[in-house]
Amino acid sequence: MATWSAPGKVFLFGEHAVVYGKPGLAMAIKPRIHVTVRRHRHPAPAKSPYVEQCFRELGVTGSVYVMSQMPSSAGLGSSAAVTVATLSATNDEFRLELDREEIATIAHRIEQAVQKGRASPTDTYVSTMGGLVLIMGEARRRIPPTNLSLVVGNTQVSHSTSRMVELVAEERQRCPDVISPILDAIGALTLEGLRKLDEPKELGRLMDVNHALLDAIGVGHPSLTKLVIAARAAGAFGAKLTGAGGGGCMIALAPRTGKTRITGALDAAGAKAFITTIDTAGVRKEHDA
């Protein structure tokens, strides 16, 4: 039996644009998802298509127990975390000797297969490596971790990542001269954000702009707008949706002493809010229970 855990993630900048090779900046966050894998010749069918695909990819069979405090279908990378933790626990249980780069690569392949379409390597890479990561086309660069004070607000409106990705693709095809420059601008914001990581006021302002651009390409939602406005009114430096949009979660960049106030304002606006920070560990082995 082997138990491994992997973190979720938020996009500070660049979701959707990364699908088109533009830069995106994502950060691994707590909470983590725990997965236990045990060798089993005739296991019950896995409930998750991601888990099923993990065993298919690695050519073994086992039983799986997933323990998660992270909301699913909310833009926090829960399916990537389940995939990365399942692959790592299976790798350990069956002594397959895969390293972390290989785990990240296989996890990305699995996400793409299950999501039947475009999926950037962001969620799976960040969950595997932890910390702060710049994704730019095929390149992934680990950025020195910075301790940003973030509040996550979950609208509790569930969304489908593949549907939202498809929606942007349709818009881009319908109106390329409008949508493509917006995706370029989102990529430029990521690079600007990278330069302002130590300047929370500036960083917050850029997050606000990123949110407006995501709204413009059609991935906003009234519940997200409400939360973003509530967070800013409660003193956030900036706020934006995170992940695929159309529901799911938003993040607010909070002053060190303002996190509780922002959390309260988000709760009062109908969200399930929590304070989080960077998780630098990435996927790791846990003690077996």
**Cβ(266)–Cβ(273) below 8 Å:** yes
Residue 80 region by backbone torsions, left for phi larger than 0, else alpha for psi between -120 and 50, else beta: alpha
Q: Under the criterion CB under 6 A, does residue 19 sit at the interface with ligand MEV?
A: yes
DSSP-derived letter for residue 278 is B
- Least distance to ligand MEV, CB of residue 156, Å: 17
Q: Name which of 209, 48, 19, 196 is nearest 123 in CA terms.
A: 19
Please tell me the distance from the alpha carbon of residue 123 to that of residue 34, in angstroms, as a whole number.
16
* Residue 217 interacting with ligand MEV (CB under 6 A): no
- Residue 3 binds ligand MEV, judged by CB under 6 A: no
Binding test (CB under 6 A) with ligand MEV, winner from 88, 120, 210, 223: 120
List the interface residues with ligand MEV, window 227-246 (CB under 6 A): 243-244
> How many positions of this chain bind ligand MEV (CB under 6 A)?
13
Closest CA to 68 of 107, 36, 29, 32: 32
Binding mask 24-53 for ligand MEV (x = CB under 6 A): ------------------------------
Q: Are 25 and 131 in contact (CB under 8 A)?
A: no
CB 265 within 8 A of CB 185: no
**Alpha carbon 228 to chain centroid distance?**
18
Site for ligand MEV contains 203 (CB under 6 A)? no
Say if CB 221 and CB 156 are below 8 A apart: no
From the candidates 92, 99, 123, 288, which is the catalytic residue? 123
Query: Considering the rule CB under 6 A, would residue 251 count as an interface residue with ligand MEV?
Result: no
Task: Report 66-95 residues binding ligand MEV (CB under 6 A).
Answer: 75
Task: Quickly count: other Cβ atoms within 10 Å of residue 166's Cβ.
Answer: 15
Between 219 and 266, whose beta carbon lies closer to ligand MEV?
219
Known active-site residue 177: no
Instruction: Say how far apart CA 129 and CA 103 lie, in whole Å.
Output: 10
Q: Which of 221, 207, 115 is nearest to 163 (CA)?
A: 115
Question: Which of 36, 122, 223, 276 is the binder for ligand MEV (CB under 6 A)?
Answer: 122
Q: Rounded to the nearest whole angstrom, what is the least distance from the CB of residue 25 to ligand MEV in the complex?
A: 12
Structure tokens at 11: 């996009």
Q: Does 187 bind ligand MEV (CB under 6 A)?
A: no
Residue 224 interacts with ligand MEV (CB under 6 A)? no
Among 12, 18, 182, 252, binds ligand MEV (CB under 6 A): 18
Write down the least CB distance from residue 82 to ligand MEV, Å: 14
User: Does residue 6 belong to the site contacting ligand MEV (CB under 6 A)?
Assistant: no
Task: Write out the residues near ligand MEV by the rule CB under 6 A.
Answer: 15-16, 18-19, 75, 119-120, 122-123, 161, 165, 243-244
Active site residues: 123
